[in-house]
Amino acid sequence: MVRNRSSWLDRIPSLSDEPTHPAQIALRTYALAVSLSLGPSLIPFITALIVPKARSKNLPDLGRILRRDLGHDGFAFTVTLAVAGGAALKRSWPLWRVVYDRQDKDEDVHRSSGDQQPESLGRLVQQLFRRVTKYLAALTPEQETFISNVLSSSIGILLLQVGRQRTARLKRVAAAARGKPLPRDLTSPTLDLTLLLLVRAIDSIVQSFILHKTTPVPGLKKDRKHLAVESQLHAKLQREKIKLENKSWQSMTSKVDAFVFWACSARIMWCFFYEPHRLPRSYVKWINTLANLDGRIIETLQLIRTRQWSYKTGSAHHATVLQSGATDLGLPASWGDPHALPAYGGAIANEAWKKLGVTSRPGVAGIPCEVIHGQVGSSLGLRESCTANASLRMAKGFFEATAIYLPVHFLPVLLTRPQTLLRPHRLFETLFGSLRSAAFLSSFIGFYWYTVCLTRTLVLAKLFPFVSHDFWDSPYGCIMAGCLACGSSIWIENGRRRGEMALYVLPRAIRTCLPDALVKSGNRAIRLAERLVFILSISSLLTAAAHRPDSLRGLSRWTLAFVTNGPNAGFWKRRRRDPSVPPTPSFPPTPSIVIDSGKDDN
C-alpha cells in the first residue's frame, strides 16, 4: 500500500496566478516601495558592519527607521494601499451592475403588479441609491479604474502625511532633548513626491493626445483565412501610417524634452549657487561633488549678489573669506582681497596685476583664475589655463559618470533579459549607451566651466573692460551664462533618455519656482490643494498603466508595468515543484502602438 504523501508546499495558501490580481499587485508594490524607502536608510548600518572605521549606528536609530518605513503610515504601506486598493475596488465594480439589475427587476415586478408605494424617507433613499447604482453601472472601464484609484489614493495620502508629520515631530523632540532644537518647518513633507507624480501624469496625458493608437480590423482575428487580401493590405498600410506619424510626433517631443531639460537645468544650477535651500540636500551634495568647487567661492558669489563683497567698495566684514581660500592653495592672500583686486579691465587692471604679481589676466579684472580653478591642473603647471581647467574637469567627470551609468544601463538588462548580452551587437549597444550618457554628464560639467571662463576672462570681459567685474561675477554675469550653456549637452544623449532626463529635473525646477511664503505657510487650503493634486496625479498614472500604457515613458512606464503586470508570487511555488517551468515575463505584452523603432537604451 502506497501512502499518498502531499508536499508541504500544497498546504501553503497560494496566491492567484493572475498577474493583475490585487494580491499580486500589493505584493509587488510593497516589495518595490520597501526597497526604495528602506534600502538607502540601511546603507549606513551595513557600512558600519563592513567598514570598521565607519561611524557606528545604534539600535534605537535602526528601530526608529524601521518604525518609520514599515509602519501603517509609512511610505511602503501607504503606496501599496493606494495602488492595490484601487485594483481591489476595480475588481469589485461588477457588483454594482448586479445590484442595479436586481433593483431594475424588482421595479418591474412592482410596476406590473400595480403596487404604489407611498412617498417616504425610505422610498427617497431607495430611489437615490438606485440612481447612484445606475450611474456607477454605466461607467466605462477607464472611468471605473480612475474612480477606484481616487478612493484608495485619498486614504493613502492622508496616512502618508500623518506618518511624515509624526516623524518630523519626533525629530524635533529628540533634537530638543540633545539641546539642539530644530526650527519648525511647515513645508509639506510630501511636496516633492506630489510634484514628481504631477509631472509624470501631465506627460502621460500629453502623450495620449499626440500619439495615435492602432485599431484592429474587424474580423481579422475571427476569420483571417476568408478575409479579403485588400482588407489585409489596407490594415497593414494603416498601421504603417500610424507608426510613421508617431515617429514624427516623437521626434518633435524629443526636441521639446531637450528644451525642458535645458531650461530646468539652468534654473537648478542657478539655485545651487544662490538659493540652495530650494533644492534637496542630497541634490546639492551631488552637484557639489561633480562641480568640485571650493565652498568659499560659492559664499563669495552669494556675498557679491547681496553687495556685501564688491570689487569697487570692498567688504567690511567678509574680506577674509576668499583670502583664506587663496592661502590654502599656496597663493598670496592678496589675490582674494576685494580691496586689492581691480574692478575694471584695461590699463587699470594691468597696473594692479603688476603690484599683485598676477600674469594670467592681462587687461581683465576680477578674481584670478588660479583661485577659481583650485588645484585642477596644478601638477601639470596649467592652473591658470581656462582650457586646461575645463578639459581636465570634463575628463574626470567622464570617468566618474561612467561608474554611475554603467550599472544604470546594464542592470535592467541583467535583471530582465541577460541572454541578450551574449550577442556582441547588443553588448556593444548597451556599452555605447552608457558611454554616451557619461559623455553627456561630463560635457555638462565642461560646458559650464568653459562658458564661465569665456564670460569673465577670455572674451566678454576683454571686449567690455569698462563694465565692472561686480557684474561679470554677479548672478546675471558668468554664472548665468554657465547655467544657460551647460544644459545644451542634453543633445549628446539618446532621444528617449532626453525625455527621462527632462521628467527627472522638471519637478525639482518647479519646486525652486514656488514662493517660500506659500510653501512654508502651512495653510490648510494649500495642503488640501496638494492632496488633490496627488490624488488626481497618481490616479491618472494608474489608469494610464491599465488602459493606455503606451502613453507612459521611461521610469514611470517600467515601474507601473512591473507593478500592474510584473512577475507574480505564485511563480516561486511552481518553480520549487518543477524547475523546468519557464520564468514569468517581467514586462507586459508589447502594446499595439510602436513609438520608436530604435533600440531602447534604458
In a domain, residue 468? The reply is yes
Residue 588 is predicted with a pLDDT of 38
Q: What is the C-alpha separation between 491 and 495, in angstroms, rounded?
A: 8
* Mean pLDDT calculated for residue range 148-172: 89
- Per-residue model confidence as pLDDT tens digits over 260-311: 999 999 999 999 999 998 988 888 988 988 888 889 999 999 999 999 999 9
Classified as helix, coil or strand, 310 is strand
Q: 101 pLDDT band (50/70/90 cuts)?
A: low
Q: 171-175, 290-294, 487-491, 522-526: which has the highest mean pLDDT? A: 487-491
pLDDT for res 77: 93
The whole-number pLDDT of residue 291 equals: 85
Rounded alpha-carbon distances, angstroms, from residue 398 to 128, 293, 380, 406: 66, 17, 19, 12
Q: Does 117 fall in a domain?
A: no
**Would you state the pLDDT for residue 135?**
67
Whole-number Å distance between alpha carbons of 56 and 151: 43
The set of cell numbers assigned to 231 is: 482588407
**Lowest-confidence region among 139-143, 352-356, 400-404, 482-486:** 139-143
User: 430 or 4, which is more confident?
Assistant: 430
CA atoms within 13 A on the CB side of 181: 2
Give the angle 122-123-124 at the CA atoms, nearest 5°. Answer: 90
Rg (CA), the chain: 31
Query: Is residue 587 one of the residues assigned to a domain?
Result: no
Whether 334 and 315 have beta carbons less than 8 Å apart is answered as no
Joined grid coordinates for residue 146: 480612475
- Helix or strand or coil: residue 446? helix
Task: Say how far apart CA 303 and CA 294 lie, in whole Å.
Answer: 15
pLDDT of residue 181: 78
d(CA 19, CA 28): 10
Q: What stretch of H or E contains 524?
A: helix 524-547
pLDDT tops 80 at residue 569: no
Q: Is the Cβ–Cβ distance between 563 and 82 less than 8 Å?
A: no
pLDDT reported for residue 351: 92
* Sign of the torsion formed by the C-alpha atoms of 127, 133, 135 and 138: negative
Q: Summarize pLDDT for 451-480 with one digit per residue, the tens.
A: 999 999 999 999 999 999 999 999 999 999
CA distance 552 to 65: 33
Average pLDDT over residues 525-553: 92
Q: Do the Cβ atoms of 601 and 433 come closer than 8 Å?
A: yes
In this prediction, residue 40 has a pLDDT band, given cuts at 50, 70 and 90, of: confident
Rounded to 10°, the helix 478-486/229-274 angle is 160
Task: Provide the domain limits for residue 282.
Answer: 276-513
Give residue for cell 484609484.
Answer: 149
Confidence of residue 159 (pLDDT cuts 50, 70, 90): very high
pLDDT score, position 153: 94
Answer yes or no: is pLDDT of 520 > 80: yes
**Does 34 fall in a domain?**
no
Residue 347 placed within a domain: yes
Q: Is the dihedral of CA 278, 281, 282, 287 positive or negative?
A: positive
Q: What span, in angstroms and rounded, lies between the C-alpha atoms of 59 and 57?
A: 7
The C-alpha cell of 600 is what?
531602447
Predicted pLDDT of residue 298: 94
Of the candidate ranges 269-283, 523-537, 575-589, the one whose mean pLDDT is the lowest = 575-589
Q: pLDDT tens digit string along 177-220? A: 777 777 777 788 899 999 999 999 999 998 888 776 544 444 44
Closest CA to 480 of 501, 442, 454, 505: 454
Maximum distance among all Cα pairs of the chain, rounded to whole angstroms: 112
Q: What percent of the chain has pLDDT over 90?
A: 40
Query: Is 557 a domain residue?
Result: no
Q: Could you please report the per-residue DSSP string of 44-74?
A: HHHHHHH-TTSPP--HHHHHHHHHHHHSTTS
Q: Which of 23-37, 394-408, 409-423 has the lowest mean pLDDT?
A: 409-423
Q: What is the mean pLDDT of the chain?
A: 80
Which of the pair, 56 or 499, is modelled with greater confidence? 499
Give me the percent of the chain exceeding a pLDDT of 70: 76
pLDDT at 599 over 50: no
**pLDDT grade, residue 96 (50/70/90)?**
low
What are the respective helix, strand and coil percentages of the chain, to the nearest 5? 70, 0, 30
Query: CA–CA distance from 165 to each of 170, 277, 337, 353, 472 (Å)?
Result: 9, 20, 46, 57, 44
Q: Is the pLDDT of residue 257 over 70?
A: yes
Nearest by Cα to 486 from 298, 332, 309, 272:
272
Looking at per-residue confidence, does 550 or 332 come out higher?
332
The answer to whether residue 570 scores a pLDDT higher than 50 is no
310 φ, ψ (degrees, to nearest 5): -145, 145
Q: Count structural domains, the chain.
A: 1
Q: Residue 8: pLDDT band by 50, 70, 90 thresholds?
A: low
* Position 580 in a domain: no
Is 568 within a domain?
no
- The predicted model gives 501-520 an average pLDDT of 90
Name the band, by pLDDT with cuts 50, 70 and 90, for residue 576. very low
Place of cell 508595468: 561
Whole-number Å distance between alpha carbons of 407 and 389? 28
Residue 228 has a pLDDT of: 55
Sign of CA dihedral 375, 378, 380, 386: positive
Task: Please tell me the number of Cα atoms within 13 Å of 497 on its side-chain side.
Answer: 20
3-state secondary structure of 579: coil
Give the integer Cα–Cα distance in Å for 38 and 41: 5
The Cα 286–Cα 485 span in angstroms is: 19
pLDDT value at residue 544:
93
C-alpha to C-alpha distance for 497 and 261, rounded to whole angstroms: 11
Cα 325 from Cα 231, distance rounded (Å): 77
User: In 365-494, where does DSSP find H-type helix?
Assistant: 369-373, 386-416, 424-453, 460-463, 469-472, 478-486
